[in-house]
Amino acid sequence: MPTLIGQPTPRIDGRAKVTGRASYASDEPVANPAHAFLLTSFIARGRITGFDFAEAKAVPGVLDILTHESVGSEAKPPKQASGGPTTTTMEDDQVWHDGQIIGIVLADTYEAAREAGFRVRVHYAAETPAASFDAAGAERERRDDGEHQDYAIGDAEGALGAAEVTLQAAYATPTQHHNPIELFTTTCAWENGNLTIWEPSQFVYGLRANVAGQLGIPPERVRVISKFVGGAFGSKGGATARTAWIAVAARRLGRPVKLVATRDQGFTIATYRAETRHRIRLGATRDGRLTALVHEGTEVTSRPSRYNVSGNETTARLYACPNILTRVDIVHADRNTPGFMRAPPETPYMFALESAVDELAEKLRLDPIELRRRNDAKTDPVSGLPFAGRRLMACFDEGAARFGWADRNPRAGSMRDGEWLVGLGCASAVYETNIAACAARVSLRPNGTARVEVAGHDIGTGAYTVVAITAADRLGLDASVIDVAMGDTTLPAAPLAAGSSHTASLANAVAAACEMVRDRLARAATTRNAGPLAGRDPGTLRLVDSCLTAPDGVAEPLSDAVSRLSPGVVEAFAENIPDGAPPDAMGKLHAGTNPILRGYKRSDVAAYAFGAQFVEVRVHARTREIRVSRMLGAFAAGNIVNPIAAHSQYMGGMIWGLSAALLEKTELDDSAARYVNDNLSEYHIPVCADVRDVEVMMLPDDDDRANPLGIKGLGEIGIVGMNAAIANAVHHATGRRIRELPIRIEDLL
């Protein structure tokens, strides 16, 4: 049967995006809003001893200034998706980190609120902060098993001692901030005790439940609207402190309040990718078979939070190795609480492992692809379960052929093009296949159009189009006649758009609702005797080309099939709870918890997407300028719903990798525990001129053990291998092994 799933489909929201009519949260019109400006702390640790508002309140148009003294008891801190307790904001006088929200100025205009904000004087009892690793006062603890887990398979220490070849190396990754181009905005309005929040969100049900809990009101009294999200990358997944305070402000003023936080505030009022350190020890036979793998990570977090990403849960599972040991320590510093950022566990941890594998290959005088082939795992080394598809080596083979890997002279520093040293590097990419419970409502009209409602999130992934394609495919219609409503808690509950799970979660729920529609139409057509399909087996009928069709081709127009049941629409509501997910998953979702089933926590298979990433770098022989001239990613990530948007996402992920490896680092002032380059001209991300050839290959990978539609997700895997592929290419170009990111000119002088 021909299927729309996998056919290139232009985004159904494309026209809205190119005409400026796509409505992001701060674009939504509200009547007569007051404008908010956040006051944030100038110290990283201590207490607030007082405020001086005289000058600020004299600014015309100022309505109120909220602090812990005036509203501190009116909201509780938001619950974090991970890591337990977080820092407080205006709940009390404590300052946990630089840039903490300590007050909100409200005024008739943004201009007045901002000016008044700069005229507030704050008095502190400051203490010396600890900024990061190694700072006096930073507290180290071992991360307990719980949400994340350490592995001790076999006897890794013993195997290392006995290994023919060993490699030991330390790696480090920096603080990085998501910096979506859309700022962190919140607009709140109350009407008859009901709160509406317009805020860019990766999880509207989560935000609703969280804010309701913070304010002590029932979630049914809160509506969150987030139709378009201007980039998120993890930063808009959890509830941050600002939302409840803006709600409190709007309630006090009896007027909508609009906050558009500034770019620098975005560095401290939301989350970030924390700096990590790694120690890797590998043992191998002389012919390149791994005998031991030890990956120890250390991660920074805030004082109260135990947030960590524990990416060695992935690195332990990539290669066949009988002896594995992992461990994660966390270091508490006077910082805001970190959080999810694109491929949170893999981006730092795979940099370490895939650099170490390259180093081991060099030591063994083996091609790095060949070393990976010799250790390609047939089953999950931790659980022993089969993989739900594992095409890692197919990705390497097809990618290498296309990239021209065979032309690579393996000797470091041997390839040159005029003034430029040329290096080719590669690395594996892997990301777990996740899926979450999700509900959807599908309404089919007699005129052959349909509407799908699901509180999902299009954060740039093409989710609107994924939903339309899935419904069109299952209902036998064209994607262009499917009207999709998302991003609103009045719609059926959808999970967090994160963990590369959203396409699988939405599409499987929409397909389930469509199947209910088909089933109702088919039963009516076969049991009510007037009509060409009377007496047929309803299970064999399909919706194809606007008809209800039997296997022998006998068909009834959709309009007749629908009209038989209803003069209006045929509607179905489905809740999809993935096999293996807890039965109360939908309840969790309504309570604001993301009911995700992780690919490595399943009892039947280990579900992962795989990829191979190739990079050509050019390092200038004299200036040491580093340029990425070519990158290629070959991925086997399940069934692709829309190759157009999938290509863009893979490409974006790969460029994120270029950025992480060569550009991005949030610099810390160690004495003040303060981010220094908190703006877009000093926090470097790539511009158009930084990006040259980017090639994406999508290999077939159809395995319905992943989930019924065989969708594995691909929002994150594109970045996963890039850090190491670039570091490995830089090594190949220059002979210099850089183990700390980002790699900069000064590292190669």
- Residues with catalytic roles: 716
Q: Which amino acid is at 112?
A: A
Q: Is the peptide bond preceding residue 386 cis, with omega within 30 degrees of 0?
A: no
Q: 720, 347 in Cβ contact below 8 A?
A: yes
Residue 355, H or E segment: helix 346-364
CB closer to another protein out of 82 and 235: 235
Question: Which of 381, 399, 375, 378 shows the shortest CA–CA distance to 389?
Answer: 378
Residues that bind another protein (CB under 8 A): 10-11, 13-24, 26-27, 29, 59-61, 109-112, 115, 178-183, 228-233, 260, 262-263, 458-462, 644-645, 647-649, 651-652, 655-656, 659, 679-681, 685-691, 693-694
- In three-state secondary structure terms, 572 is strand
Q: Which amino acid is at 121?
A: R
Query: Per the structure block, which two tokens stand in for 6?
Result: 């996998």
Residue-wise DSSP of 453-465:
E-----SSS-HHH
Residue 61 CB, shortest distance to another protein, in Å, is: 7
Residue 699 CB, shortest distance to another protein, in Å, is: 21
CB closer to another protein out of 233 and 403: 233
Phi, psi at 513, each rounded to 5°: -65, -40
- In three-state secondary structure terms, 297 is strand
**Bridge partners (DSSP) listed for residue 424:** 616
CB closer to another protein out of 32 and 192: 32
Please, which residues have CB within 8 angstroms of residue 192's CB and are 6 or more apart in sequence?
A: none
CB closer to another protein out of 448 and 652: 652
Residue 667 CB, shortest distance to another protein, in Å, is: 16
Q: 319, 377 in Cβ contact below 8 A?
A: yes
Which residues in 542-625 belong to E strands, given as ranges?
A: 542-544, 547-549, 555-557, 570-576, 596-597, 608-620
CB closer to another protein out of 337 and 659: 659
Q: SS3 sequence, 378-419? A: CECCCCCCEECCCCHHHHHHHHHHHHCHHHCCCCCCCCEECC
**Bridge partners (DSSP) listed for residue 210:** none
Classify burial at 708, counting beta carbons within 10 Å of its beta carbon; exposed 0-12, middle 13-18, buried 19 or more: middle
Locate all alpha helices (DSSP H) within 49-166, ordered by sequence: 54-57, 68-71, 110-119, 156-162
Residue 109 CB, shortest distance to another protein, in Å, is: 6
Angle made by CA atoms 425, 610, 279, in degrees to the nearest 5 = 60
Residue 613 CB, shortest distance to another protein, in Å, is: 15
Residues 584 and 587: their CA atoms lie apart, in Å, by 5
Residue 651 CB, shortest distance to another protein, in Å, is: 7
Residue 65 CB, shortest distance to another protein, in Å, is: 18
CB closer to another protein out of 1 and 687: 687
Angle made by CA atoms 681, 179, 250, in degrees to the nearest 5 = 115
Residue 565 CB, shortest distance to another protein, in Å, is: 33
Residue 612 CB, shortest distance to another protein, in Å, is: 20
CB closer to another protein out of 18 and 162: 18
305 C-beta neighbours (distance < 10 Å), count:
22
Q: Which amino acid is at 502?
A: H
CB closer to another protein out of 84 and 231: 231
Locate all alpha helices (DSSP H) within 600-734, ordered by sequence: 643-662, 717-720, 722-734
Residue 315 CB, shortest distance to another protein, in Å, is: 25
Q: 97, 41 in Cβ contact below 8 A?
A: yes
Question: Which of 470, 516, 640, 508 shows the shortest CA–CA distance to 585?
Answer: 508
Residue 284 CB, shortest distance to another protein, in Å, is: 36
C-alpha Rg value of the chain to the nearest Å: 27
CB closer to another protein out of 210 and 235: 235
- In three-state secondary structure terms, 452 is strand
CB closer to another protein out of 501 and 659: 659
Q: Calculate the CA dihedral of residues 264, 247, 88, 271 and round it to 10 degrees.
A: -40
CB closer to another protein out of 514 and 696: 696
Query: Per the structure block, which two tokens stand in for 694?
Result: 């980017």
Residues 9 and 238: their CA atoms lie apart, in Å, by 31
C-alpha dihedral sign at 373, 374, 378, 381: negative
